[in-house]
């Protein structure tokens, strides 16, 4: 599960107004592979991931990391798919750490064992983020398509803490697990998490395909937020330092999110095949993205058409163009605009001022009528993906 934001503090830095003077990339997300043992129906990977076979080699990754570091990137996320599938992960962590990156492993924990935790520690890995699908094994199995994964994750979370890492647990919330949030937070507390991301799933990739079966109701959302707030207060009383970050689904917001802190502002993803993207969802857009196999990251970041396409505000349509908030939310998310309207330059329909906002309302209504269980959603696996490769 890739991260959804570039870190709150980083996002606060001022962002350039026009394509002429972009800031430097501070975040490199290295999506090492699309291979993954789980089949989460909310995965943000592209639907046609099965068409991607040509993963970057160890040397190509090291070269990309060196270039990004030279440009000023300092946070590095190893993500996927499941990054532990790559047997050269320890080598990549060693190199990244030598370069001075703060290294984050964003993992399902499947493929982790105590030997590997030790080897990653030795390599200098700074932080491990483990995803949990639910508070109990049955719901977790229904969501991830694996009956054994939950127990394995809990064992590995304990091992990660025992090895002295800071640990962030990430729980993607949706209608099938959000009502268990009290048990989920209790579990994270018990596992010794330093922070918990309670992130309502963002509706891209597989999550977009399954969106009406994932989106919680407003009542579910409000109850979950209230429970989270009660936990914050109780944790403070106990002096327990476990930060709870609650991310609301933007389908219930009045204004769009400031996606990635702005297009090509602080964040850069390198996909398994070397494609360079302003965020991990962007390859769905009807445009061509450059590759580290063909150009330097410096050229791509500063000069490519793709990275300059939505910088600044000159590209914005009405109502964004004249809106006082256009430098706060940057017109919202380009992927969401495209997925919902077919036009990547449209105002994000999440915005109540968008002429397409009724699409969001319609999806909420459709979701309310969707009675599918977690088992009935489309699982993210190679078999299903091949349908989209042919399409």
Partner 1 sequence: MSEAIDRSTVYRLRPGWRLQWEEAQQCHVLLYPEGMVQLNESAGAILTLLDGKRDVAALLAELERRYPQAPVQELAQDVEEFLHDASNQGWIHHG
The annotation places the binding site for [4Fe-4S] cluster at 36, 40, 43
Nearer to partner 1, 9 or 115 (CB): 9
| Residue 9 makes contact with partner 1 by CB under 8 A | yes
Nearer to partner 1, 194 or 384 (CB): 194
Binder to partner 1 among 34, 165, 206, 263 (CB under 8 A)?
165
- Largest CA-CA distance found in the chain, in angstroms, rounded: 57
Q: How far apart are CA 350 and CA 340, in angstroms?
A: 10
| Residue 71 makes contact with partner 1 by CB under 8 A | yes
Q: Which stretch binds partner 1 (CB under 8 A): 108-116, 133-141, 164-172, 354-362?
A: 164-172
Instruction: Give the per-residue contact string, 175-214, with partner 1 (x = CB under 8 A; - = no).
Output: -------------------xx-------------------
Query: What's phi and psi for 234, nearest 5 deg?
Result: -65, -40
CB of 72 to partner 1, least distance (A): 3
| Residue 104 makes contact with partner 1 by CB under 8 A | yes
Nearer to partner 1, 165 or 301 (CB): 165
CA 391 vs CA 31, 47, 289: distances in Å: 24, 10, 20
Strand locations in 63-135 (E) = 75-79, 102-107, 127-132
Residues 6+ positions from 252 with CB-CB distance below 8 Å:
218, 221, 364
C-alpha torsion angle, residues 190, 192, 196, 201 (rounded to 10): -60
In angstroms, how far is CA 187 from the centroid of its own chain? 22
Binder to partner 1 among 24, 152, 364, 372 (CB under 8 A)?
24
Q: Which stretch binds partner 1 (CB under 8 A): 7-15, 38-46, 52-60, 361-369?
A: 7-15
Total residues contacting partner 1 by CB under 8 A comes to 28
Residues 202 and 4 sit within 8 Å (Cβ to Cβ): yes
| Residue 241 makes contact with partner 1 by CB under 8 A | yes
Nearest to 22 by CA among 302, 291, 294: 302
Enter the DSSP assignment of 283: G
Helix 114-123 vs helix 89-99: crossing angle, to nearest 10: 30
| Residue 67 makes contact with partner 1 by CB under 8 A | no
Q: How far apart are CA 51 and CA 168, in angstroms?
A: 32
| Residue 2 makes contact with partner 1 by CB under 8 A | no
Query: What's phi and psi for 246, nearest 5 deg?
Result: -105, 120
Q: How far apart are CA 22 and CA 299, in angstroms?
A: 12
Q: How far apart are CA 158 and CA 239, in angstroms?
A: 21
Q: Would you call 129 helix, strand, or coil by DSSP?
A: strand
| Residue 237 makes contact with partner 1 by CB under 8 A | no
| Residue 3 makes contact with partner 1 by CB under 8 A | yes
Question: For residue 222, what are its two tokens?
Answer: 């409000």
Q: Which stretch binds partner 1 (CB under 8 A): 122-130, 132-140, 221-229, 247-255?
A: 122-130
Binder to partner 1 among 55, 126, 273, 348 (CB under 8 A)?
126
| Residue 66 makes contact with partner 1 by CB under 8 A | no
| Residue 94 makes contact with partner 1 by CB under 8 A | no
Which residues contribute to the annotated binding site? 36, 40, 43
Q: Would you call 112 helix, strand, or coil by DSSP?
A: coil
| Residue 14 makes contact with partner 1 by CB under 8 A | no
Q: How far apart are CA 307 and CA 312, in angstroms?
A: 11
Nearer to partner 1, 164 or 286 (CB): 164
Binder to partner 1 among 22, 77, 111, 264 (CB under 8 A)?
77
Residues 55 and 28 sit within 8 Å (Cβ to Cβ): no
CB of 253 to partner 1, least distance (A): 22
Binder to partner 1 among 116, 121, 127, 255 (CB under 8 A)?
127
Which residues contribute to the site for partner 1 (CB under 8 A)?
3, 6-10, 13, 24, 26, 71-72, 74-75, 77, 100, 102, 104, 126-127, 129, 164-166, 168, 194-195, 241, 243
């Amino acid at each position: 599960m890739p991260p959804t934001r570039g870190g709150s503090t980083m996002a606060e830095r001022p962002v350039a107004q026009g394509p002429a003077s972009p800031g430097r990339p501070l975040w490199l997300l290295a999506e090492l592979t699309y291979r993954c043992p789980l089949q989460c129906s909310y995965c943000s990977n592209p639907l046609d991931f099965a068409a991607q076979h040509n993963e970057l080699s160890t040397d190509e990754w090291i070269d990309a990391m060196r270039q990004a570091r030279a440009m000023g990137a300092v946070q590095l996320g190893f993500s996927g798919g499941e990054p532990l599938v790559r047997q050269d992960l320890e080598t990549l962590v060693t190199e990244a750490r030598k370069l001075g990156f703060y290294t984050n492993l964003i993992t399902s924990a499947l493929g982790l064992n105590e030997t590997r935790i030790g080897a990653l520690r030795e390599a200098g890995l700074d932080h491990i983020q483990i995803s949990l699908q639910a508070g109990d094994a049955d719901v977790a199995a229904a969501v991830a398509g694996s009956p054994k994964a939950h127990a394995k994750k809990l064992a590995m979370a304990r091992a990660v803490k025992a090895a002295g890492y800071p640990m962030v647990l990430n729980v993607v919330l949706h209608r099938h697990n959000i009502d268990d949030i009290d048990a989920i937070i209790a579990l994270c507390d018990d596992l010794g998490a330093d922070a918990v991301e309670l992130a309502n799933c963002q509706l891209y990739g597989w999550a977009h395909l399954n969106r009406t079966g994932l989106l919680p109701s407003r009542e579910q959302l409000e109850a979950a937020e209230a429970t989270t707030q009660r936990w914050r207060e109780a944790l403070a009383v106990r002096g327990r330092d476990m930060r709870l970050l609650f991310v609301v689904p933007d389908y219930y917001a009045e204004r769009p999110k400031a996606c990635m802190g702005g297009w090509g502002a602080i964040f850069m993803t390198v996909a398994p095949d070397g494609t360079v993207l302003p965020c991990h969802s962007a390859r769905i857009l009807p445009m061509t993205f450059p590759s580290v196999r063909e150009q330097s990251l410096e050229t791509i970041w500063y000069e490519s058409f793709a990275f300059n396409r939505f910088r600044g505000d000159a590209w914005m349509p009405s109502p964004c163009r004249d809106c006082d908030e256009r430098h706060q939310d940057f017109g919202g998310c380009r992927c969401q605009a495209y997925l919902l309207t077919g036009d990547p330059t449209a105002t994000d329909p999440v915005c109540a001022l968008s002429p397409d906002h009724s699409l969001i309302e319609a999806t909420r209504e459709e979701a309310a009528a969707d009675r599918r269980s977690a088992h009935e959603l489309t699982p993210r696996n190679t078999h299903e993906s091949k349908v989209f490769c042919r399409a």
